[in-house]
């Protein structure tokens, strides 16, 4: 059995955070209709414009709240939250390309709700997956890189027994665990640091689960982890 555990050192930094998890089993992630996902992303890019009302990009609340969160732990210079990266592309008028159905679906949900979304292939995990502070010696190789780039000591990361899975909370993921067309069992997550957006967070989780099941089949289960509910069985 494999668990996802949010450890105490994370809650020490973010006691009011919520980590939403959608565990998907027996899905079909092959690209069958690429145009459908292009349209899905285009619609979500238009919806995301509502989060960019302030002309100063960094002053928009969705960006601001995550920049403040990243100031609470050691990060790689220039590292930003995944939602800021997506919104920056929208802000500049650069369309997102399609990657594979799971990634396209969670990117569209991320943009629509202004929340960081991510995902990994459950079958690649070694031991339990944890959201925690890094020791600093965890192996990490991201897409397009050849060299190991371990996190800083104290950096917030997702990790398993093999190494880091995602650095700087939701900034960049390891190639080892990334979602591919061959993924059949997926761990998807949505992260919340702004308590005032709990209703939107819950709606995003529900829509994410429903979109995966409607488009890729399989069965999805939703869990929400908080300081009083710190782990969930994922396999």
Give tens-digit pLDDT for 14-30.
999 999 999 999 999 99
Q: Say whether pLDDT at 235 is over 90.
A: no
pLDDT for residue 186: 98
Span 45-52, mean pLDDT?
98
Give tens-digit pLDDT for 49-85.
999 999 999 999 999 999 999 999 999 999 999 999 9
Give tens-digit pLDDT for 134-171.
999 999 999 888 899 999 999 999 999 999 999 999 99
Query: Is the Cβ–Cβ distance between 149 and 142 less than 8 Å?
Result: yes
Which residue from 99, 92, 83, 90 is spatially nearest to 191, judged by alpha carbons?
83
pLDDT for residue 146: 84
Long-range contacts of 11-14 (CB under 8 A, 24+ apart): 11/227, 11/230, 13/72, 13/73, 13/156, 14/69, 14/72, 14/193
Span 219-235, mean pLDDT?
97
* pTM of structure: 0.96
Share of the chain above pLDDT 90, in %: 97
Give tens-digit pLDDT for 79-115.
999 999 999 999 999 999 999 999 999 999 999 999 9
Question: Mean pLDDT score of the chain, rounded to an integer?
Answer: 97
Q: Say whether pLDDT at 228 is over 90.
A: yes
**Which phi and psi angles does 207 have, rounded to 5°?**
-70, -35
């Amino acid at each position: 059995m494999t668990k996802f555990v949010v450890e105490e050192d994370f809650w020490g930094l973010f006691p009011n955070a919520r980590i939403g998890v959608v565990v998907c089993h027996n899905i079909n992630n092959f690209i069958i209709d690429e145009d459908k996902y292009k349209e899905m992303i285009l619609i979500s890019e238009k919806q995301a414009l509502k989060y960019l009302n302030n002309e100063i990009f960094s002053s928009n609340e969705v960006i601001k709240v995550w920049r403040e969160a990243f100031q609470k732990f050691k990060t790689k210079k220039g590292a930003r939250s995944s939602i800021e990266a997506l919104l920056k592309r929208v802000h500049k008028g650069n369309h997102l390309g399609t990657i594979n159905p799971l990634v396209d679906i969670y990117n569209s949900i991320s943009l629509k709700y202004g929340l960081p979304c991510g995902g990994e292939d459950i079958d690649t995990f070694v031991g339990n997956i944890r959201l925690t502070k890094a020791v600093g010696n965890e192996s990490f190789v991201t897409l397009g890189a050849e060299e190991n780039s371990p996190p800083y000591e104290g950096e917030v990361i997702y990790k398993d027994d093999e190494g880091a899975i995602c650095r700087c909370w939701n900034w960049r993921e390891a190639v080892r665990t990334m979602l591919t067309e061959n993924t059949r069992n997926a761990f998807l997550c949505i992260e919340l640091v702004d308590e005032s957006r709990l209703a939107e967070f819950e709606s995003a989780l529900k829509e994410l689960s429903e979109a995966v099941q409607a488009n890729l089949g399989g069965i999805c289960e939703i869990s929400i982890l908080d300081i009083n509910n710190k782990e969930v069985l994922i396999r």
